[in-house]
Amino acid sequence: MKSKFRHVALIGKYQTGVSGACVTSSRGVMQDVAHFLNAQGCEIALEQETARNMGITHFPELNAADIGAQCDLGLVVGGDGTMLGIGRQLAQFGVPLIGINQGRLGFITDIPFDNFQSTLAPMLYGEFEEDHRSLIHARVMREGQCVFDALAMNDVVVNRGATSGMVELRVEVDGHFVANQRADGLIIATPTGSTAYSLSAGGPLLHPSIPGWVLVPIAPHTLSNRPIVLANAAEIAIEVVAGRDASASFDMQSLASLLHGDRIVVTRSVHHVRFLHPKGWSYFDTLRQKLHWNEGVA
């Protein structure tokens, strides 16, 4: 019996400036996973930054575009941050992703490394649940020109400067004025991102099947400014009215400095990310495990 996936790209967690021992450990993990995939009849390639940072030289190296053109599957070994980064890059190609968790929480990298072989093997032969996640397409508009363009799987965050007071933000939905909000910032989160910064700021959890965003103020000046769930077909615009050194971040991995009058325009991307989960996977199981619900209950 052959694997459903002929050509698999391995994407690993790596950081510049980490100790040699950590790199050696990560390299060993990646090699263990690669040898397992080879034993299942898969052809292996490594994402090029993973290969270079871990010093793994005996597999072909591919960039994101090449992975999109050549591979049937992306296998991410790391944490949610690693998955977010490659997910945005591969969404346009429709390559499905499986996550083996080496991070802390692992909301979207849901296979524990300790027993990855027993969980991953049936998935390679077609026994999995498929889960599609929407992406945000965000643009920073300045005097009618786009000066920054990015995708986000978790959230877009407009923040005050580190040493400044509140920012004042004008919020519009589909061209309709909603409110001027004075706060430390504002979060627009996808259902995937509803378990990230949005949750810490008091936002609700959104099931991944809900076609919506959640708009969450960060420490608002007016306590009646509450989180609101919006349809993801809407266009949301946030204009910087007042406040110094404001910035916009996209999945906390890219950053744009903002000026007064800048508008952050958010729409649903035409692309989505394809996640594959073990057979029987449930979003509620993930929440219960990661948020420690019902701990101590017999």
Give a yes or no: residue 83 inside a domain.
Answer: yes
Contacts of residue 206, Cβ cutoff 8 Å, sequence gap at least 6? 189, 190, 191, 194, 212, 214, 229
pLDDT of residue 208: 95
Q: Looking at 126, 150, 169, which one is the last position of a domain?
A: 126
The strand pair at 61-62 and 43-47 is best described as parallel
Helix residue ranges, H only, 193-282: 197-200
| Structural domain for 253, as ranges | 135-270
pLDDT of residue 14: 59
- If one counts the domains in the chain, the total is 2
Q: Are residues 69 and 112 in the same domain?
A: yes
Local structure of 264: helix, strand or coil: strand
Structure tokens at 239: 């204009």
Inter-residue contact 177 to 170 (CB < 8 Å):
yes
Q: Are residues 90 and 140 in the same domain?
A: no
Q: Are residues 112 and 179 in the same domain?
A: no
Q: Give phi and psi for 259, each to the nearest 5.
A: -110, 160
Which sequence positions are flagged as catalytic? 80
> Residue 264: how many CB atoms within 10 A of its CB?
25
Q: Are residues 160 and 84 in the same domain?
A: no
Inter-residue contact 110 to 132 (CB < 8 Å):
no
pLDDT of residue 190: 98
- pTM reported for the whole predicted model: 0.90
Q: Are residues 154 and 233 in the same domain?
A: yes
Task: Please report, for the domain that includes residue 220, its CATH number.
Answer: 2.60.200.30
- Nearest 5°: the CA angle 128, 102, 253 is 95
Q: Looking at 94, 126, 158, which one is the last position of a domain?
A: 126
Would you give the distance in Å from CA 126 to the centre of its chain?
Answer: 24
pLDDT of residue 16: 45
- Please report, in tens digits, the pLDDT of each residue of the chain (298 residues total): 667 899 999 999 755 444 444 455 678 889 899 999 999 999 999 999 999 888 888 899 999 999 999 999 999 999 899 999 999 999 999 999 999 998 677 889 989 888 899 999 999 999 999 999 999 999 999 999 999 999 999 999 999 877 778 999 999 999 999 999 999 999 999 999 999 999 999 999 999 999 999 999 999 998 889 999 999 999 999 999 998 889 999 998 878 899 999 999 999 999 999 999 999 999 999 999 888 887 655 4
The strand pair at 263-278 and 254-257 is best described as unpaired
Q: Are residues 21 and 98 in the same domain?
A: yes
Q: Are residues 104 and 152 in the same domain?
A: no
Q: Are residues 162 and 252 in the same domain?
A: yes
Inter-residue contact 36 to 100 (CB < 8 Å):
no
Beta bridge partner(s), residue 151? 137
Inter-residue contact 99 to 106 (CB < 8 Å):
yes
- Nearest 5°: the CA angle 89, 93, 99 is 60
Q: Are residues 22 and 114 in the same domain?
A: yes
Q: Are residues 115 and 162 in the same domain?
A: no
Task: Please report, for the domain that includes residue 15, its CATH number.
Answer: 3.40.50.10330
Distance CA(204)–CA(229), nearest Å, equals 9
Give a yes or no: residue 293 inside a domain.
Answer: no
Give CA separation, 63 vs 46, 47, 60, 68, 129, in Å: 9, 6, 10, 9, 27
DSSP string, 39-94: HTT-EEEEEHHHHHHHT--SS-EE-HHHHHHH-SEEEEEE-HHHHHHHHHHHGGGT
The strand pair at 128-142 and 247-250 is best described as unpaired
pLDDT of residue 173: 98
Q: Are residues 122 and 147 in the same domain?
A: no
